[in-house]
Amino acid sequence: MDNTSYIALSKQTALVREMAMVANNIANVNTPAYKGEDSLFTQYLVKVQTEDRILTDSLAFTRDLGTMRNMDEGRFQSTGNTLDMAIHGKGYFVVETPDGPQYTRKGHFRLDQDGQLVTNEGRPVLTTDNQPLFFAPNEAKIDISRDGSVSTENGPVGKLRLVQFDNEQDMKKVAHGLFKTDQLPQDVPKPDIQQGMLEGSNVEPVVEITKMIAIHRSYDSVTKMIEEENQRQRKAITALTRITS
Amino acid sequence: MRSLNIAATGMVAQQTNVEVISNNIANMNTTAYNRRRAEFNDLLYQNLKRGGAASSDTGTIVPVGIQLGLGVKTAAVYRITEQGSLVNTNNTFDVAVQGKGYFQILMPSGEISYTRDGSFQINADGLVVTHEGFQVQPGITIPNDAVDVTINSSGEVLVKLDGQVTSSNVGQLQLATFANEAGLESVGNNLFLETPASGAPLQSNPGQPGYGTLLQGFLETSNVNVVAEITDLISAQRAYEMNSKVIKTSDEMMSSANNMK
């Protein structure tokens, strides 16, 4: 078997995927509450079949094991919009979707034609009673306190629910900043919501560009390795054919 | 290569961002202009390896899967309906709304449009109209011999006629509010139209609970914050550059694959 080329290929495949991840991070550098992702690599060991090797007894292929999500908080941006909320510390808003509850840290909400608090895609945001939140059309001043209590000039309306999970890495991204998970949500003991702010993306452009350069260079060097291996084989074949002929 | 398409979505999104910002800056002196903000969403994710898949016969599972994102898209461009500051114009028919509410304007098509730009004029018939000559609803006629016109905070239009001591009431300006102001459709000339997303208008006199009050001789300025726009512009430009860098790198990676001997 031509192991050298296959090992190099395994690395290259993994690099292409990692590049896609970096590209996605950079594309989402201005997406509110976007969490950057990184791939995890591991070696995949294969026993060598022949006995006449001195150095090592197994070959290490590269394998991308999974995605590691950076759960750091993004920078807060002030938007001045009453219905923009940023969560400081742990927690997710609960959003009702046709596929059951989903969770988001992107607190960019709006009202729909019924005065219901919804996400940008029109999905209702739930309160601590698991109910959507409604505002009367003549309620002009909406105040959201740090613990998530919502009130207007007519008095309190409800309290936004913030939940947390044991294993945040196990949550799956769904698009539109939403996450889904089968884990049981637990209420955040001390919610901290900032009104009029949005959590920015936590992607560090410098880090991503550096990663991209590194990926590019390793890709090139692996390509080089495949080329050299190819040449070595060609030379060997030429040499062998010369001897036999 | 996915990264090429992903970076392309990033460039398109940043381009939209720059367009929105430039429109804000262009309208920084437009009466009652509400600044817009482009909102981005991550696109769908592709599951290459599902987290939770079995990794051995003994029932161990993969703790985290591989999810590849497919880029970004513009989710919405929304208006930020923050009150702009008020500027004194000393013009009789300049009226600013302090708080919630829109003036109603009768369009030539018969439709009602809504605006917060209260720089009104008088037409040949003495009717209160906008710059374009569209009538303010409910229609108010100012008599020819009026020497002084007062619009009070609750929208009553009082005129003092030549030779009279007391002012007489010639009409009432009304405001309309919506359940979801952000859902109104902009049609240019500072005018908005009702949409299914905005909900039906609710009319009332200014100063009623939930409605703003009027201020004669003032206009609402745009709520564009130039410093914030310029910083946003810089960050959008850099993000655009970074995405183009990704395209370049992906291209070079592909070219090195193609040039393998």
Band of residue A166 on the pLDDT scale cut at 50, 70, 90: confident
Q: What DSSP line would sit under chain A, residue for residue?
A: --HHHHHHHHHHHHHHHHHHHHHHHHHTTTSTT---EEEEEEEEEEE-S-S--SS-SEEEEEEEEEEEE--PPPPEEE---TTEEEE-SS-EEEEEETTEEEEES-EEEEE-TTSBEEETTSPBBBBTTS-B-B--TT----EE-TTSEEEETTEEEEEB-EEE-S-GGGPEEEETTEEE-SSPPEE-SS--EEETEEE-----HHHHHHHHHHHHHHHHHHHHHHHHHHHHHHHHHHHHHHHH-
pLDDT tens-digit readout, B248-261? 999 999 898 888 77
- Give, for B126, the enclosing helix (H) or strand (E): none
pLDDT value of residue A153: 80
Measured in degrees and rounded to the nearest 5, phi and psi for residue B136 equal -80, 135
User: Are A23 and B7 within 8 A, CB to CB?
Assistant: yes
pLDDT value of residue B69: 83
Please tell me the distance from the alpha carbon of residue B30 to that of residue B22, in angstroms, as a whole number: 14
User: Are B66 and A42 within 8 A, CB to CB?
Assistant: no
Q: Kindly determine whether residue B68 and residue A17, on different chains, have CB atoms separated by under 8 Å.
A: yes
Pair (A175, A139) in one structural domain: yes
Pair (A106, A146) in one structural domain: yes
- Give, for B133, the enclosing helix (H) or strand (E): none
Taking only residues 156 to 195 of chain B, the set having a beta carbon closer than 8 angstroms to any beta carbon of chain A reads 177-180, 182-183
pLDDT value of residue B147: 87
Pair (A158, A94) in one structural domain: yes
Domain boundary among A162, A179, A199: A199
Band of residue A96 on the pLDDT scale cut at 50, 70, 90: very high
User: Are B86 and B166 within 8 A, CB to CB?
Assistant: no
Pair (B123, B214) in one structural domain: yes
Mean pLDDT of the region B98-106: 92
Pair (B148, B130) in one structural domain: yes
Pair (A117, A24) in one structural domain: no
**Burial class of B129 by CB neighbour count within 10 A (0 to 12, 13 to 18, 19+):** buried
Nearest-CA distance B71 → chain A (Å)? 5
Neighbours of A68 (CB within 10 A): 14
Per the structure, the complete domain to which residue B90 belongs is given by: 86-220
Nearest-CA distance B183 → chain A (Å)? 8
Mean pLDDT of the region B76-102: 90
Domain total of chain B: 2
Name the DSSP letter for residue B225.
-
Mean of the per-residue pLDDT values for chain A?
A: 86
Band of residue B176 on the pLDDT scale cut at 50, 70, 90: very high
Band of residue B164 on the pLDDT scale cut at 50, 70, 90: confident
pLDDT tens-digit readout, B133-143? 999 988 899 98
Give the total residue count for chain A: 245
Name the residue in chain A with its Cα closest to that of B44. A175
Per the structure, the complete domain to which residue A117 belongs is given by: 76-199
List of E strands, B91-142: 95-98, 103-106, 112-115, 121-122, 128-129, 135-137
Peptide bond between residue B138 and the one before it cis (omega within 30 degrees of 0): yes
Mean pLDDT of the region B161-187: 87
Among candidates B235, B181, B243, which has minimal Cα distance to B210? Answer: B181
Name the residue in chain A with its Cα closest to that of B231. A77
Residue B246 has pLDDT above 90, yes or no: yes
The model's pTM is 0.80
pLDDT tens-digit readout, B207-225? 888 889 999 999 999 999 9
Residue A27 has pLDDT above 50, yes or no: yes
Domain total of chain A: 2
Report ipTM for this prediction: 0.73
pLDDT tens-digit readout, A216-237? 999 999 999 999 998 998 999 9
The two three-digit tokens of residue A157, written as one number: 């309306």
Q: Kindly determine whether residue B179 and residue A112, on different chains, have CB atoms separated by under 8 Å.
A: yes
**For a pLDDT cut of 90, what percent of chain A falls above it?**
29
Please tell me the distance from the alpha carbon of residue A89 to that of residue B219, in angstroms, as a whole number: 41
**Burial class of A27 by CB neighbour count within 10 A (0 to 12, 13 to 18, 19+):** buried
Contacts of A15 in chain B (CB under 8 A): 253
Among candidates A216, A29, A180, A12, which has minimal Cα distance to B71? Answer: A29
pLDDT value of residue A56: 60
User: Are A87 and A198 within 8 A, CB to CB?
Assistant: no
CA A100 distance to own-chain centroid: 21
Please tell me the distance from the alpha carbon of residue B11 to that of residue B60, in angstroms, as a whole number: 41
Q: Kindly determine whether residue B63 and residue A170, on different chains, have CB atoms separated by under 8 Å.
A: yes
Among candidates A121, A134, A114, A5, which has minimal Cα distance to A59? Answer: A5
Pair (A138, A83) in one structural domain: yes
pLDDT value of residue A49: 66
Mean of the per-residue pLDDT values for chain B?
A: 88
Pair (A166, A112) in one structural domain: yes
User: Are A159 and A147 within 8 A, CB to CB?
Assistant: yes
Please tell me the distance from the alpha carbon of residue B13 to that of residue B43, in angstroms, as a whole number: 12
Whether B255 contacts chain A with CB within 8 A: no
Residue B68 vs residue B96, higher pLDDT: B96
pLDDT value of residue A1: 45
Best of A30, A82, A203 to substitute, by most chain B Cβ atoms within 10 angstroms, is: A30
Band of residue A7 on the pLDDT scale cut at 50, 70, 90: confident
Q: Which residues of A151-190 are buried (b: 16+ CB within 10 A; e: fewer)?
A: bbeeeebbbbbbbbbeebebbbbbebbbbebeeeeeebee
The two three-digit tokens of residue B232, written as one number: 């946003």
User: Are B246 and A26 within 8 A, CB to CB?
Assistant: yes
pLDDT tens-digit readout, B25-66? 999 999 999 999 898 888 887 777 666 666 677 767 666 677
pLDDT value of residue A222: 92
Pair (A80, A136) in one structural domain: yes
Among A31-45, A121-135, B134-148, the least confident range: A31-45
Please tell me the distance from the alpha carbon of residue B76 to that of residue B36, in angstroms, as a whole number: 10
> According to the 3-state scheme, what is the secondary structure of B23-89?
HHHHCCCCCCCCCEEEEEEECCEEEEECCCCECCCCCCECCCCEEEECCEEEEEEEECCCCCCEEEC
pLDDT value of residue A43: 75
Pair (B122, B104) in one structural domain: yes
Residue B200 has pLDDT above 80, yes or no: yes
Pair (A195, A122) in one structural domain: yes
Contacts of B180 in chain A (CB under 8 A): 110-113, 115
Pair (A83, A173) in one structural domain: yes
Residue B168 has pLDDT above 60, yes or no: yes
The two three-digit tokens of residue B48, written as one number: 């290459």
Band of residue A173 on the pLDDT scale cut at 50, 70, 90: confident
Q: Kindly determine whether residue A17 and residue B62, on different chains, have CB atoms separated by under 8 Å.
A: no
Residue B67 vs residue B148, higher pLDDT: B148
Neighbours of B134 (CB within 10 A): 17
